[in-house]
Amino acid sequence: MSRLGSVSIARRAREMQASPLRKLAVTAEERKKKGIKVYHLNIGQPDLPTPPIVFETIHNLKQSTLAYAPSNGLPQALTAWKNYLRSAGIDLDEKEIIVTAGGSEAIIFAMCAICDAGDEIIVFEPFYTNYNGFATIANVRLRPLPLTIEDGFHLPSEREIERVINDRTRGILICNPSNPTGAVYGRHELEQLVRLAKRHDLFLLSDEVYREFAYDTPFHSIMSFAEVYDRAILLDSSSKRFNVCGARIGVLASHNVEVVQTAFKFGMARLSVASIEQLALVPLLNSPEQYTAPIVEEFRTRRDVVYEELGEIQGVTYYKPEGAFYIVIGLPVANAEHFAKWLIEEYEHEGETVLLAPAQGFYATAGKGINEVRLAFMLNVHDMKKALNIIRLSFDPYKNAKT
């Protein structure tokens, strides 16, 4: 019998999922120890260098005490975020911005601010898997609405969305440009959400951490719709656009005073966000374009290469992702998780293999995305081509191995 007797953790704790991408990553490490080179197409951690000014700023800081920052953010950081957002066409006052520990904390704060336990937020699947974890922490139920690969994962009609709205629905959460699909929502798609939000008194939560990564069509922020001035909540992060994922700096911003004040109170409870990192990002936020432009160009090139190379792989279903640095593709296999496992456990081509992210983990509806994987464009063009070639060559050996 356990020394703990009958003590047990909460149902919510048991429901909390570990990252579905972790299991295969452990196998990948074992394979590397055996001398196999593994191309990682599974994770969204940019491989490009952080702008040197971030480290220079840290080296030049003259502080005798590492003190708590104000709970809503350091004044210099708030002004820098205001400047950055203004350069992106979004006008907000410092008082309407809360600095958070990454976009992740901003999303949790937003969910906690608008939902009571058991309330619902509509999401479009496949979606960023951590939304599940955030919803579990916040005691919120996600109401998934499936998108299809054939539409390049664009939003369904207003009527279809309206069908899943009920009296527990508090908001609609979008990720635009989207992780994991790369879709960039057009103005007319967003207008549908705006109309629904007004008609049903909902909040619109917009995760715009990939804002700059819109390659073909103009990006429209939810904050550009005056009709939802009081019900739009912007969730943002420095992580991807500046290659500073480890800094853990994001923001929640809104014109809705109650939402911002509530997020501020949540912020007070966790006291402060890391102060050095807030300061280190000020130069980037004050002059963003020069830092984001080369990063965006690199990912545009990779997107183009991936799109072209996918055309060489027979039986794959794909589309042209318009933004971010991901794509969800359909594979000519019955079960993509089984295939990804086989690829990393057993397959090699000239001493190399690939780690993929099965897309099932990006869906909440059971049975969806079974033959799909997400590719993250985290390799340079040369390696990306090699990785996609390995995938191309692996299907026949996979079929033979199975029989």
Ligand X SMILES: Cc1ncc(COP(=O)(O)O)c(C=O)c1O
Q: Closer CB to ligand X, residue 207 or residue 309?
A: 207
Q: Which stretch binds ligand X (CB under 6 A): 78-86, 96-104, 288-296, 355-363?
A: 96-104
For 31, the token pair is 């394979």
For 97, the token pair is 């911005």
The angle at the Cα of 368, spanning 367 to 370, to the nearest 5 degrees, equals 80
Residues 102-121 that bind ligand X (CB under 6 A): 102-104
Distances, alpha carbon 127 to alpha carbons 101, 142, 207, 232, in Å? 21, 11, 11, 19
d(CA 177, CA 179): 7
Burial of 68 (0-12, 13-18, 19+ CB in 10 A): exposed
Short-list 265, 302, 293, CA closest to 382? 302
Least CB distance from residue 389 to ligand X, whole Å?
A: 27
Residues 279-308 that bind ligand X (CB under 6 A): none
User: Is 43 among the residues that bind ligand X (CB under 6 A)?
Assistant: no
| Mask for 244-283, x = binds ligand X (CB under 6 A) | -x----x---------------------------------
Q: Which stretch binds ligand X (CB under 6 A): 22-30, 34-42, 97-105, 190-198?
A: 97-105
Q: Closer CB to ligand X, residue 31 or residue 248?
A: 248
Short-list 153, 189, 185, CA closest to 319? 153
Short-list 395, 349, 361, 345, CA closest to 26? 345
Q: Closer CB to ligand X, residue 152 or residue 394?
A: 152
| Mask for 134-173, x = binds ligand X (CB under 6 A) | ----------------------------------------
Least CB distance from residue 206 to ligand X, whole Å?
A: 11
Q: Residues 273, 127: contact at Cβ < 8 Å?
A: no
Binding ligand X by CB under 6 A: which of 207, 322, 337, 372? 207
User: Is 209 among the residues that bind ligand X (CB under 6 A)?
Assistant: yes
